[in-house]
Structure 1
Amino acid sequence: MSRPDPRLGRHHHAPPPALTLWHEVALPLARAHEICGRARRTLALHLAGAGAGGGPVLWIAPRHGADALNPEGVVGLMPPQDILFVAATRPEDVLWTAEEALRSGVVPVVVADLPGPPGMVPVRRLHLAAEAGLTEGRCRPLCLLLTPGEGGAPGIETRWRMEPAHGPGRTRWRVERLRARMAPPRGWWLEQGRLEPGAGLTDEAVQAG
């Protein structure tokens, strides 16, 4: 009687290493992720502060962008001195710089602040560069693509949206997971550093994912 092939048995595969922020806000490392919405930079700063581990954060944006990141607004989310700002002449230079930084494997978090969603080929190149950085460098680099509106970059690992939901005397944010390979869409309220489950996503949010 032949023995069954052990490769056909059930195996419990551990999830890939990820940057986990709050409860279920988890972004697998060595991959490219998209953040959209009006408060996309705020969420990116939360993630960068948690994922840098004292290392530098490379923040790449077009040189003539209309809404550049204000260093004074960084205080309270992460040390401003940990951010290295790069001003790119053209939008394609933003992606090229991000790709090279990821491939080096020496920058824990690379943020590409884009005027619009990139295409499938650039996103695929970013994934490959991050994977190369994992093997060639000294860290598991995380790539954050910031896009306006509803986002929509194809091929990304996860897509998140963050919107302000403030009220009189109340500072609150809406955080939504619009797309993830291994998790369903979901929304939360973020207030005073605490994440609480929110109402279900709107049809428009699900369609955007």
Structure 2
Amino acid sequence: MTYQPLLGRRPVRAGPSLALLPDKDELNLHCGRLHEACGPARRNFALWLAARCTGPVLWVRPLWEVDRLNADGVADWVDPARIIFVDARRPEDVLWCLEEALRAGAVPLVIGDLPGLPGLTQVRRLHLAAETGGTQGAYVPLGLILTPGMGGAQGVESRWHLAPDHAGGAEQWQLARLRARTAPEARWTLQRRGTEGNRSLHAA
């Protein structure tokens, strides 16, 4: 798979990606870029990506946000000890932390829980920071912003919407790719299967 950097006139080049599911190439997200997740289960989407990478994960969130992740719920998907939470005092501090973390390339996944949509200039800065981190840091970082409602940040590499659809005792979600630079809109039903302590995510 290939991608075109948002800024500059460099040729299209192959790059690493992070697979949401091991057997679904169409659910790969390009590293060194900024992606967006929205919908009521957007934090699940972030946890699934965290489970698919190795190393620490940086999660930046507003200090005033009362809707916090519970460690017991996080442990269902990923070791909570891998997640470093950063509480930002102001909305602009969330974006600043994201930019600095992506530029450092010190972690494979940087998540920003945003109270609103960033501007196009801010998104471009985050793309550039992720590209820089990929050339200077230990990882080619993937940036993920979590936005309220249906999202809609301009200039992101891809936008995903995730909503719960549990029925009949099954853990199930509806995932939609709302936009992507290199792929069409698409939808999947994802289910969690297996026994206690050995459950995994699959496309139905």
TM range (shorter): 0.7 to 0.9
What is the aligned-residue RMSD (CA, Å)?
A: 1.2
Question: Which structure has the bigger radius of gyration?
Answer: 1
Distance 1:88 1:178 in 2: 28
Q: Which residue of 1 aligns with 2:9?
A: none
Structure 2 unaligned spans of 5+: 1-11, 193-200
Q: Which residue of 1 aligns with 2:43?
A: 41
How many pairs were matched up?
182
Segment drifting more, 127-136 vs 164-173: 164-173
Q: Which residue of 1 aligns with 2:17?
A: 18
Q: CA deviation at 1:14?
A: 6.8
Counterpart residue type for residue 37 of structure 1: G
Over the matched positions of the two proteins, sequence identity in percent amounts to 52
Match of residue 195, structure 1, among 193, 200, 203: 203
Structure 1 segment 73-92 matched on structure 2, within 5 A = 73-92=73-92
Q: Which residue of 2 aligns with 1:27?
A: 29
Q: CA deviation at 1:66?
A: 2.6
Distance 2:70 2:113 in 1: 13
Higher strand share: 2
Distance 1:58 1:17 in 2: 19
Query: TM-score, normalising length from structure 2?
Result: 0.86
Structure 1 segment 1-209 matched on structure 2, within 5 A = 15-22=14-21, 23=24, 24-51=26-53, 53=54, 55-192=55-192, 193-196=201-204
Structure 1 residues 103 and 14: CA distance shift in structure 2, 3 A: closer
Distance 2:13 2:143 in 1: 22
Distance 1:81 1:147 in 2: 24
Q: CA deviation at 1:168?
A: 3.0
Distance 2:62 2:124 in 1: 21
Structure 1 unaligned spans of 5+: 1-12, 197-209
Q: After the TM superposition, which parts of structure 1 deviate over 2 Å for at least 4 consecutive aligned residues? A: 13-16
Distance 2:78 2:174 in 1: 20
Distance 1:39 1:133 in 2: 28
Distance 1:59 1:105 in 2: 14
Distance 1:87 1:47 in 2: 21
Question: What secondary structure does 1:112 align onto?
Answer: strand
Query: TM-score, normalising length from structure 1?
Result: 0.84
Distance 2:185 2:27 in 1: 11
Structure 1 residues 162 and 72: CA distance shift in structure 2, 3 A: same
Q: CA deviation at 1:76?
A: 2.0
Question: CA offsets, 1:10-61, max 9 Å, x none?
Answer: xxx774321112212111000000000000000110001212x1x1100000
